[in-house]
Structure 1
Amino acid sequence: MTAAVLALRFDPAVVVLSYLTAAFASYVALDLAQRVRTPDSLVARTWWIAGSLSMGTGIWAMHFVGMLALKLPFLVGYDTAVTLLSWLAAVGVSAIALRVAAQETLTPLRLAVGAVSMGAGICAMHYTGMAALVLAPGIRWHWGLVAASAAVATGAAAAALVIFFGLRQLPRAWARWCQLVAALVMGAAVAGMHYTGMAAAGIAEGAVCLSADGLRGDNLGNLVAGATFALLLLTLVTSALDARSQRRTNRLQQSLQAATTELQELALRDPLTGLSNRQLLDDRLQHAAARGQREGAHLALLAVNLDGFKPINDSFGLAAGDQVLRETARRLQGLARGHDTLARLAADEFVLMVEGEVGETTLAQIAQRLLDALAEPMTGVPGAGSQPLRLSASVGIALYDGKGPGEALVAQADSAAQSVKRAGGNGFAFFEAHMQAGVREQVELARDLRAALAGEAGNGRLALHYQPKIATAEGEVTGVEALLRWNHPLRGAISPVVFIPVAERFGLIMPLGDWVIAESCRQIAVWREAGLQMRVAINLSMQQLRQPEALVRRFETALAQHGVDARYLTCEITESVAMDDASATERSLQRLAELGLSLSIDDFGTGYSSLAYLRRLPVSQLKIDRSFIQDLESSADARAIVKAVIELAHALGLQVVAEGVETEGQAEVLRGKRCDKLQGFLFARPMPADELTRWATSVPDDRLRFSASVYATLDTTI
């Protein structure tokens, strides 16, 4: 006769606790699934393992608490080994769930396999946990309800996967609330599966618990629930902190991206006026010329060279000059159309690139409007008081004919502007064929120079020659000045006076300057290996100083690549460059000084320097221009000027170098006036690095008194 089956009764409070445990575990599971999808494989694997343990423990605890909600008329205990086995099944189910959640998409096949696997795991966990309750007679199962519980488990698993992938598509503001609702629904589904499985269990009246000596159920429920809640809460807090850290990282990445974009934008802008610089103009000109060749699009350039700008700087000061340039840029920009490009190429040189309708009549009207705008009185200029300033300009116009490189337009427009300037300025002119010879030569030189920089064979080679600087008191070589040379395969040695302006006009001065920096550092390293500690001075251009970030990076790269200390490099800038675009120059020199480089003002005395401004610059040296040195022996005025410069420099704590020293008489005058260093043909002409090495190591100690003729064999074009 079959024993009667007990009517199962549950403690309502513990049932509610089991549901809350299931809902909380579901919420944590949804949160953990987000972490597992991180692109870092190690972090994702760590979250997968930790998440499986935490999520599995939460699900297992819900079933275990639910079993403890069952009120039985006898003392209850659970077999330890079987209970542990049911926990392992819960962790395995969680591992499957998180692995599926880590995928990019939820395909039908992936949903089916994942739901069935998770459903089977949940059932295994539940019924293994039930088996931990060892009864005599054993539990009689209602297989229909067992099948129903398996269906509920599989359906709950499928719903959980669909919900998770659905949450990914929601806005962040909605996702958190939807996650809470989804957790409540999933908790109800998991609890429903559990209590359906419990309803399938038939326990006979008078049954005895054979595992009563195992895990006891009197206070175990509260202990399990508390420990599980603590574990899940810790996991949730950790997940929230990780999410916060991830959001902060994302914000930092976005900020970094914005800063990088801003720096890239700044690198393409003139710092004083905000207009396009040469690099940006060249890029747009190249694309416009390509469209002209491909589609027949029209293109023209207007070169705007201000007349008489230098006297404004000299008369009213640097602040006035900067203000005039900014106002000039503003007026020109006001006349440019949205798709035109206005760029500043030099201190007082602007270029307007016009696309579209560029007939001669239209271009002439544009040029006249530019001249009229600049002729308007300019008031409020610092140093000028109430006196209004009036500007004029020489405008050169060049039209692209659809052939050849677009950069030739720059030279053509500039040639036309120079013809206007020679005729008195304040006007415009179109480029004409008789100007072509000079333009063609410049374009060819620019092409060959670009090829030489790229190291292409047959275009000659660039080289640095070095001229020693001699300490006046000790008579020792204290360093050298690096002078750029270009030996063209057809034209022979080309003077820097010829090819440097070409490089500036055709946008090659930056790569040329980069080459000089890298080659100087390489040579310093070579001399160091040969036992020579040689300080090298290199010349910087205005274009380099206008891009301080790129210039500093280039120095940092070259110094690091060759293991050279920055103190062995001196950067020389001419006085006119130092005074041009004063604020930008000061910022650039400060950055170079912070890098450890020494700074020197070259050709001092040829410009109109502000002593107050010079004191702000981090320079350590002045070089007196050779034009003052030539007349030292015959001109009392020249001697007075040189003496004044030396005393002024020493008062400011600066060393003085005299360049262009060619006679012993000049050297004696300079020694008597306490000039610190001498440089010129009297001691040595510029020479290649290997010849300088032999000269510095093998010439007798009294070499500094030799005449220039001794070194005639070392001569190269200066």
Structure 2
Amino acid sequence: MNAEPTAPWWWLLLALVAMAALMAALRLWVQSRGRIKVPAATVSCASAPHAPQAPSGPTFQRVLSAQDALTGLASRLQLEDRLDAAALRAESHQRRLALLYIDIDGFKPINESYGYEAGDALLREVAQRLIGLGRSTDTLARMGADEFIMLMDGDPDHASAALVADRIRQALQRPYLVQGREVRLSCSIGIVLYPDHGPRARLIARADAAMLAAKRAGGNIHCFFADTMDPGALEAIELQRDLRRALETNTGLELHYQPKIDSRTGRISGVEALLRWHHPERGAVSPVVFVPVAERFGLIGALGQWVTDEACRQLRIWQDTGLRMHVAINLSVHQLRQTDLVERVQDSLARHDIAGGRVTFEVTESAAMEDPQASLRVFERLAQLGVSLSIDDFGTGYSSLSYLRRLPARQLKIDRSFVQDVASQEDAQAIVRAVIKLAHALGLKVVAEGVETVAQQDVLKRMGCDQLQGYLFAKPMPARHLQLWVMGDGVPARRMQFRDSQFEHDDTDGQRPDNEDDLI
């Protein structure tokens, strides 16, 4: 019996292989000609398993780059550029586009339980999963912290946007492996369609409002924007837009300086730099308001860099006029997690030719202890620059004395809540006395902040507190007023009878909440 001929199926196989090779070669050629648009976020994440290093540079403009340093996704700036272009295309072709605002539910406990390195790795994995769901015409961006946005181009309707949202929730619900343990997460998604849900300038704000509504409903759902949703998110979006513009144009931001007084000599021993924002329409905006907005929308790194650079610039001006000053700068927990923080500080010191010993970074006790090992590494590298460290708000958080002993700190600041009652409450006196003795035993200087009465000053001096800071001596004031104030008080004053600060109008208008100035 003759075997059936086999040539036809071999020829078919060869034809399919040749066709596949031809299509692959054609795709590569078209890509090289620039006719296929591949999102930058997809390329950067798919080509490297680790996120790229954050750009280093002398100015805050370079911090506001087009790419998120942690995930490699687009930044908010790049998203807004692409959103503008997509909205113009949608208008010209009478098509829709969609924005999906994605917030990870329950991410904060991951950071608290496993540390920030594990949290960062988890965010990179989330970004990779989102990339797997996007098309070449979509844009993925990280808005800051654990929030992402997907911009869907290509005329999506209500149903297709909802379908993508469901796929995102399913993808992000798959288990993650964190330090050998299985972790599950969910997400809340707010959705807006353009032009259905308003003008382009309001889309991100309204997507955010829809996301918050999804969270209030219990999370792990998606929600389309409705006019009845909380308008508070719109105000936050507008505030961050104005703050971003202030950074880009270097307008409206200013440092005020509050003196620290040597308790033995009565002379000024240094100043603390405190950020103020003069909004062109709102007037003075409190740090209590704008710092959380900066943290939420990924501006805190640029804002912190602006403060460091401006303080160094002012130090150089003072030094050139014969005034040798020491400046303390507040460092937020978000800045502590920046991989290039030390390089940024080093760049500011070098550009203005300032010795590291003229600068102290104040870090709250709780921020330093959130991830003690990571904080220790950052502090040790800063110490190599000559920059000193002060533990701020000491006594209000939970800290390990073994870690405290290892930190290269030179100073402790007693929280104002203890100073407030130190002249009248025995328990406050006992706490302050114990902190001072502990600090001195560790070779640290002690600063008491929030000193507002002579009675508080006298008690703290008797206890051996090294430096005093508060409204009893001076309010925070602009650099030009501080220089006049210092020149007028060059001779040690008996009983520290300093005259009032020449800058009588502080931004807080006499209504300073507790620790407002400690925010940045």
TM-score above 0.5, yes or no: yes
Please, which of 463, 468, 471 is the counterpart of residue 678 of structure 1? 468
Deviation string, structure 1 residues 568-590 (Cα, Å, up to 9, x no partner): 11112233332345444333322
| Contact in 2 for aligned 1:395/1:427 (Cα 8 Å) | yes
TM-score (norm: length of structure 2)? 0.69
Pairwise CA distance, 1:625: 2.3
* Structure 1 residues 502 and 472: alpha-carbon distance in aligned structure 2, compared to 1, 3 A threshold: same
| Contact in 1 for aligned 2:254/2:277 (Cα 8 Å) | yes
Aligned to 2:194: 401
Aligned to 2:390: 600
Kindly indicate whether residue 342 of structure 2 is the aligned counterpart of residue 555 of structure 1.
Answer: no
Q: What are the residue-to-residue correspondences of 1:562-577 with 2, within 5 Å?
A: 562-577=352-367
Please, which of 79, 94, 106 is the counterpart of residue 306 of structure 1? 106
Please, which of 109, 132, 136 is the counterpart of residue 338 of structure 1? 132
Question: Secondary structure at 1:714's aligned position in 2?
Answer: coil
Aligned to 1:619: 409
* Structure 1 residues 392 and 535: alpha-carbon distance in aligned structure 2, compared to 1, 3 A threshold: same
Kindly indicate whether residue 273 of structure 2 is the aligned counterpart of residue 473 of structure 1.
Answer: no
Question: Secondary structure at 1:266's aligned position in 2?
Answer: coil
Question: Secondary structure at 1:558's aligned position in 2?
Answer: helix
* Structure 1 residues 556 and 330: alpha-carbon distance in aligned structure 2, compared to 1, 3 A threshold: closer
| Contact in 2 for aligned 1:621/1:655 (Cα 8 Å) | yes
Pairwise CA distance, 1:493: 1.1
CA RMSD of aligned residues (A): 4.0
Pairwise CA distance, 1:661: 1.5
Q: What are the residue-to-residue correspondences of 1:356-505 with 2, within 5 Å?
A: 359=160, 361-362=162-163, 365-366=166-167, 368-369=169-170, 372-373=173-174, 395-399=188-192, 401=194, 409=204, 412=206, 415-416=209-210, 418=212, 429-435=223-229, 437-455=231-249, 461-505=252-296
* Structure 1 residues 509 and 638: alpha-carbon distance in aligned structure 2, compared to 1, 3 A threshold: same
Equivalent pairs counted in the alignment come to 432
* Structure 1 residues 575 and 417: alpha-carbon distance in aligned structure 2, compared to 1, 3 A threshold: farther
TM-score (norm: length of structure 1)? 0.52
Aligned to 1:521: 312
Deviation string, structure 1 residues 378-402 (Cα, Å, up to 9, x no partner): 8967xxxxxx9x8776725243636
Higher helix share: 1
Pairwise CA distance, 1:305: 4.3
* Structure 1 residues 522 and 553: alpha-carbon distance in aligned structure 2, compared to 1, 3 A threshold: same
| Contact in 2 for aligned 1:566/1:595 (Cα 8 Å) | yes
Pairwise CA distance, 1:680: 0.9
Pairwise CA distance, 1:605: 3.1
* Structure 1 residues 443 and 598: alpha-carbon distance in aligned structure 2, compared to 1, 3 A threshold: same
| Contact in 2 for aligned 1:392/1:425 (Cα 8 Å) | no
Please, which of 612, 616, 635 is the counterpart of residue 425 of structure 2? 635
Please, which of 686, 697, 700 is the counterpart of residue 487 of structure 2? 697
Aligned to 1:536: 327
For 1:694 and 1:597, locate their aligned partners in 2 and report how far apart those are by CA, in whole Å.
27
Question: Secondary structure at 2:271's aligned position in 1?
Answer: strand
| Contact in 2 for aligned 1:305/1:350 (Cα 8 Å) | no
Match of 1:437, as an amino acid? P
For 1:335 and 1:481, locate their aligned partners in 2 and report how far apart those are by CA, in whole Å.
44
Worse-superposed segment, 393-402 or 568-577: 393-402
Worse-superposed segment, 331-340 or 502-511: 331-340
Worse-superposed segment, 670-679 or 529-538: 670-679
Match of 1:498, as an amino acid? V
Question: Secondary structure at 2:106's aligned position in 1?
Answer: strand
| Contact in 2 for aligned 1:394/1:418 (Cα 8 Å) | no
| Contact in 1 for aligned 2:51/2:70 (Cα 8 Å) | no
Larger radius of gyration: 1
For 2:427 and 2:171, locate their aligned partners in 1 and report how far apart those are by CA, in whole Å.
45
Worse-superposed segment, 283-292 or 516-525: 283-292
For 2:494 and 2:294, locate their aligned partners in 1 and report how far apart those are by CA, in whole Å.
37
Match of 1:369, as an amino acid? Q
Pairwise CA distance, 1:528: 1.7
Question: Secondary structure at 2:313's aligned position in 1?
Answer: helix
For 2:108 and 2:388, locate their aligned partners in 1 and report how far apart those are by CA, in whole Å.
34
Match of 2:294, as an amino acid? A
* Structure 1 residues 645 and 323: alpha-carbon distance in aligned structure 2, compared to 1, 3 A threshold: same
For 2:503 and 2:78, locate their aligned partners in 1 and report how far apart those are by CA, in whole Å.
48
Deviation string, structure 1 residues 498-527 (Cα, Å, up to 9, x no partner): 222223333333332232222211211222
Aligned to 1:115: none
Question: Secondary structure at 1:532's aligned position in 2?
Answer: coil
Match of 1:301, as an amino acid? Y
* Structure 1 residues 588 and 432: alpha-carbon distance in aligned structure 2, compared to 1, 3 A threshold: farther
Match of 2:144, as an amino acid? L
Pairwise CA distance, 1:439: 3.1
Aligned to 1:384: none
Aligned to 2:511: none
Pairwise CA distance, 1:418: 4.8
| Contact in 2 for aligned 1:662/1:682 (Cα 8 Å) | yes
Match of 2:293, as an amino acid? V
| Contact in 2 for aligned 1:268/1:279 (Cα 8 Å) | no
Kindly indicate whether residue 95 of structure 2 is the aligned counterpart of residue 282 of structure 1.
Answer: no
Pairwise CA distance, 1:479: 0.5
* Structure 1 residues 614 and 484: alpha-carbon distance in aligned structure 2, compared to 1, 3 A threshold: same
Please, which of 134, 148, 152 is the counterpart of residue 351 of structure 1? 148
Unmatched segments (≥5 aa) in structure 1: 1-260, 382-387
Aligned to 1:609: 399
Aligned to 1:41: none
Question: Secondary structure at 2:474's aligned position in 1?
Answer: coil
* Structure 1 residues 342 and 321: alpha-carbon distance in aligned structure 2, compared to 1, 3 A threshold: farther
Pairwise CA distance, 1:344: 8.3
